[in-house]
Amino acid sequence: MPPPTRLLQPFKVPIKLLMGPGPSNMREGVRAALNAPLLGHLHTEFTDIMDDVKSGLQYLFQTNNSLTFAVSGTGHAGMECALMNLLERDETLLVVQNGIWGLRVADLAKRLDLQVKVLNAEVGKAASLEEFSQAIDDFKPKVAFVCHGESSTGVMHPLDGFGDVCHKNGTLLLVDTVASIGGAPFHADKLGVDCVYAATQKVLNAPPGLSPISFSEMALNKIKQRKTRVPSFYFDALELGNYWGCFDEPRRYHHTGIISLVYALREALVGIAQEGLNECVARHQQNAKILYSALDEVGLKPFVEDPALRLPCLTTIAVPPNIQPKEVIDHLMAQKIEVSGGLGPTFGKVWRIGTFGINSDRDKILEVILALDEAIKSASGLADKKTAA
Ligand code: GLV
């Protein structure tokens, strides 16, 4: 068999402004870290880097949890790792569902033979503390799931009081911060979060491939008291915790760590530490306001009506009547600007603009809104022509 001819062509990747829901553009330092020489996954120099990453993640999540590390895999890996470790077959999981990530968690949980109870919130809105509290009383779940940054709808789900409600009932609180961490206020310990996971390709501006995760003492105890083994070796949090040096015991080989991505994550966390987490969140909040007023100037509206529920680092924009969202997206893509369409319940209804990390920047935001406005005008011209014909 001859080698594939395309494979032998020069490798060219265009530079794009990635203002969709992620991956976002990489920051320079991260790119440089990816070029650092490989080390073995148990070399002291590498385990020292893993230790730096662990402490950077504790800072990012605002937690003292010792079981804090990064799962090898994307945000979905963190999601599976959390569910597989925290729950055993037939145990009950309450899912707050207001977008694609609640649906996804419910799907994974059913595959694991968990009992899934759903608290539906309207798309673009959030569940209230009272509704949540009632659902916890009704279902007495072992774990309750909330997505903090619903990237399909652009909702930042409030979490105040959710931890207390859970703990009064012996429930663990599991939170997805894939799209929100670093770009919206989040304090795992203050909020009483028992397990939180995230991803590297959004506010952190690193490539996809690692999922930061953290388990509270209560979560760790539940894992230690399991009657059955975690159904996945790869996602077993006690094995991973050992490899990441989270326990007072020698590290064992578990799997070959994703060396270069761990370098990249370290560098991304350096970026957050240098700017300061609070300052980084505040910048995302300020730039979100710039984005909202730029939208207003061109006659567009955020899909999430309540400003308090808007995720500062990802904005959903309502598609005006008679516009095909895909035409607009294609028009922008031809200019090497990525803006995404809706996902799951928002499919066909919104555009999604990610302003993650280095892309939370006034100039980039204004450039994208200008290009979006032009693309809409061009698409509505097209729509007018189609109507006339
Ligand atoms: C991925 O996170 C997405 O929201 O598309």
Q: How far is the CA of 241 from the centre of ligand 1 (A)?
A: 27
Determine the atom of ligand 1 nearest the C-alpha atom of 100.
Answer: 4
Average pLDDT over residues 129-158: 98
How close are the terminal C-alpha atoms of the chain, in Å? 52
**Amino acid 386: pLDDT:** 63
Q: 352 a known binding residue?
A: yes
* Residue ranges per structural domain of the chain: 28-274, 277-388
Which tokens hold the place of 387? 């109507």
For ligand 1, atom 3, the nearest C-alpha belongs to: 21
Q: What is the pLDDT of residues 185-241, one digit of tens each?
A: 999 999 999 999 999 999 999 999 999 999 999 999 999 999 999 999 999 999 999
Alpha carbon distance 111, 346 (integer Å): 25
CA distances from 214 to 59, 70, 325, 359 (A): 11, 8, 37, 26
ipTM value for the complex: 0.89
Which CATH number is 277-388's, of 3.40.630.30, 1.20.1260.60, 3.90.1150.10, 3.30.390.30? 3.90.1150.10
Q: How far does residue 350's CA lie from ligand 1's centre (Å)? A: 13
Query: Does 21 contact ligand 1 (Cβ within 6 A)?
Result: yes
> How far are the Cα atoms of 22, 30, 90, 95, 98 from residue 120, in angstroms, in the given order?
26, 39, 21, 8, 6
Confirm whether pTM is higher than 0.95: yes
Question: 63: which DSSP letter?
Answer: -
Domain 28-274 and domain 277-388, same fold? Reply is no
Q: What is the pLDDT of residues 71-112, one digit of tens each?
A: 999 999 999 999 999 999 999 999 999 999 999 999 999 999
pLDDT in tens, 112-127: 999 999 999 999 999 9
> What percent of the chain is predicted at pLDDT more than 70?
98
- Rounded CA-CA distance 49/29 in Å is 15
What is the Å distance from ligand 1's center to 370 Cα?
23
pLDDT band at 389, cuts 50/70/90?
Answer: low
Mean of the per-residue pLDDT values for the chain?
97
Q: Ligand 1 centroid to 106 CA: how many Å?
A: 17
Rg (CA), the chain: 22
pLDDT class of 379 with cuts at 50, 70, 90 = confident
| pLDDT over 70 at 283, yes or no | yes
pLDDT of residue 297: 98
- Ligand 1 atom at shortest distance from the alpha carbon of 202: 2
pLDDT of residue 381: 77
State which of 105, 151, 316, 346 you would mutate to test the pocket of ligand 1, scoring each by most atoms of that ligand within 8 A of its C-beta.
Answer: 151
Question: How far does residue 351's CA lie from ligand 1's centre (Å)?
Answer: 12
Q: In CATH, what is the architecture of 28-274?
A: 3-Layer(aba) Sandwich (3.40)
Hey, whose CA ends up nearest to atom 1 of ligand 1?
21
Question: Any alpha helices (H) in the chain, and if so which ranges?
Answer: 28-34, 44-61, 75-86, 100-111, 129-139, 162-168, 188-191, 217-224, 237-243, 259-275, 277-297, 325-334, 362-388
Q: Is the CB of 343 under 6 A from ligand 1?
A: yes
Asked if pLDDT for residue 384 goes beyond 70, the answer is no
Q: Ligand 1: which residue has its CA nearest to atom 4?
A: 151
Whether ligand 1 lies within 6 angstroms of the CB of 22 is answered as yes
- Once rounded to an integer, what is the mean pLDDT over residues 148-170? 98
What is the CA(202)–ligand 1 centre distance, in A?
10
